[in-house]
């Protein structure tokens, strides 16, 4: 990158008074990606320190409340009926079992409890069951998050009335690359659901997956979509692809670890007030890679040995790493206040 390009990227990094912009261009974001690694991490860490305590992270737990049988054809997903992965369709869990899992998660230190169902969209017949689950998890004393596919505006309002804090609906990748990964719903479908969630007063959780064969411009495009929403997502999960045998992406090449760290850093610069979450793929990351991600601005992670159908890092290993890095887990009430 030329000195002029580096200067341009640095100029665009300077945040406004509230640290938030919604007018990023693809060229500006690519200029950030192209900065020397140390310069990029320095800028991201400065932004991070202005908005969060860099020595605390939010701990979350993710539970699959309805596994398998999804009609979508997402090329990365083990739960799609289009792929021969061996994952069997299961019924929706009971409210009591979900509440028990939430209690265990809180006892283990998690502040947010996320519930995922392998659906294309939330069917009307399941709305009451889901709202009962939300109320039960809230009664345990945890933040609630669900990921249930597409929503209507009315459904979003009903989830809000039940006490839902967050709704996860990832855009996955750039709009340009999207149709090579998914054909059963459009990019606009995803954006419409995010709008319904925000309009209902629910906090938005939206991010994407890296390592699906996309180019750097697609990673930049994904972050451009999220950062240019009228309101930045409150949480931005960044996933590393976990290749699953039987899916179209089972042989996807491994992404350069430093490119993943760069993506975390750029997400922090573009969306300074968001929780940037290390999500799927952590079990394949070295401690050193994770430490760079935390320095670059990641301040949220899933704890527990499973993420839906994918493996996750052992909790004891996480605790040892956090101790080595001097990182503390945010108490639930602290994480909730930081998100306001």
- Which residue is catalytic, options 106, 112, 205, 268? 205
- Give how many domains the chain has, as a whole number: 1
The pLDDT tens digits of the residues spanning 10-29 come to: 433 333 335 689 999 999 99
Q: Is residue 164 a part of any domain in this protein? A: yes
Is 145 one of the catalytic residues?
A: yes
The pLDDT tens digits of the residues spanning 212-260 come to: 999 999 999 999 999 999 999 999 999 999 988 889 898 888 899 999 9
- pLDDT category at 70 given cuts 50, 70, 90 is confident
- pLDDT category at 303 given cuts 50, 70, 90 is confident
Cα–Cα distance measured from residue 43 to residue 153, given in angstroms and rounded to the nearest whole number: 38
Burial class (CB in 10 A: 0-12, 13-18, 19+), 254: exposed
Show the domain range for 160.
Answer: 25-338
Q: Is residue 14 a part of any domain in this protein? A: no
Q: How far is CA 207 from CA 110, 177, 295, 325, in A?
A: 20, 15, 19, 25
Fill in the DSSP letter of residue 239: E
pLDDT at 73: 86
Contact 330, 88 (CB under 8 A): no
Contact 238, 226 (CB under 8 A): no
The two beta strands, 235-240 and 275-278, are parallel
Cα–Cα distance measured from residue 93 to residue 84, given in angstroms and rounded to the nearest whole number: 24
Least confident of 1-5, 247-251, 302-306: 1-5
Q: Is residue 190 a part of any domain in this protein? A: yes
Q: Is residue 31 a part of any domain in this protein? A: yes
Is the per-residue pLDDT at 9 higher than 70?
Answer: no
Contact 149, 117 (CB under 8 A): yes
Is 74 one of the catalytic residues?
A: yes
169: left (phi over 0), alpha (psi -120 to 50) or beta: beta
- pLDDT category at 77 given cuts 50, 70, 90 is confident
pLDDT at 13: 36
Which phi and psi angles does 311 have, rounded to 5°? Answer: -70, 155
The CATH number of the domain where 74 resides is what? 3.20.20.70
pLDDT, mean over the chain: 87
Is 293 one of the catalytic residues?
A: no
Average pLDDT over residues 186-191: 95
Q: Is residue 138 a part of any domain in this protein? A: yes
- Which residue is catalytic, options 21, 60, 114, 219? 114
253 vs 174, more confident: 174
Average pLDDT over residues 38-47: 97
Is 60 one of the catalytic residues?
A: no
Is 77 one of the catalytic residues?
A: yes
pLDDT at 84: 78
Q: Is residue 309 a part of any domain in this protein? A: yes
Contact 84, 246 (CB under 8 A): yes
């Amino acid at each position: 990158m030329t000195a002029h390009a580096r200067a341009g990227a640095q100029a665009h990094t300077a945040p406004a008074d509230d640290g938030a912009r919604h007018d990023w261009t693809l060229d500006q974001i690519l200029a950030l990606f192209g900065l020397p690694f140390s310069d990029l991490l320095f800028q991201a860490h400065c932004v991070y320190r202005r908005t969060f305590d860099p020595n605390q992270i939010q701990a979350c737990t993710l539970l699959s409340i309805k596994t398998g049988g999804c009609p979508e054809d997402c090329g990365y997903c083990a739960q799609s009926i289009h792929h021969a992965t061996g994952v069997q369709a299961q019924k929706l869990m009971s409210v009591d079992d979900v509440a028990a899992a939430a209690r265990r998660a809180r006892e283990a230190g998690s502040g947010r409890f996320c519930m995922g169902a392998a659906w294309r969209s939330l069917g009307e017949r399941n709305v009451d069951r889901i709202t009962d689950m939300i109320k039960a998890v809230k009664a345990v004393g945890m933040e609630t998050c669900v990921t249930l596919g597409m929503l209507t505006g009315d459904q979003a309002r009903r989830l809000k009335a039940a006490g839902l804090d967050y709704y996860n609906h990832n855009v996955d990748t750039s709009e340009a690359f999207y149709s090579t990964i998914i054909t059963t719903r459009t990019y606009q479908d995803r954006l419409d659901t995010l709008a319904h969630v925000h309009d209902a007063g629910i906090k938005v959780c939206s991010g994407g997956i890296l390592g699906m064969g996309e180019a750097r411009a697609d990673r930049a495009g994904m972050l451009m979509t999220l950062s240019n929403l009228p309101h930045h997502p409150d949480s931005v999960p960044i996933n590393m692809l976990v290749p699953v045998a039987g899916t179209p992406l089972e042989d996807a090449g491994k992404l350069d670890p430093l490119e993943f760290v760069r993506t975390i850093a750029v997400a922090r610069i573009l969306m300074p007030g968001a929780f940037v979450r290390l999500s799927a793929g952590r079990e394949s990351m070295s401690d050193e890679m994770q430490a760079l991600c935390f320095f670059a601005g990641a301040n949220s992670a899933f704890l527990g040995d499973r993420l839906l159908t994918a493996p996750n890092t052992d909790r004891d290993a996480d605790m040892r790493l956090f101790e080595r890095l001097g990182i503390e887990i945010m108490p639930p009430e602290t994480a909730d206040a930081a998100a306001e």
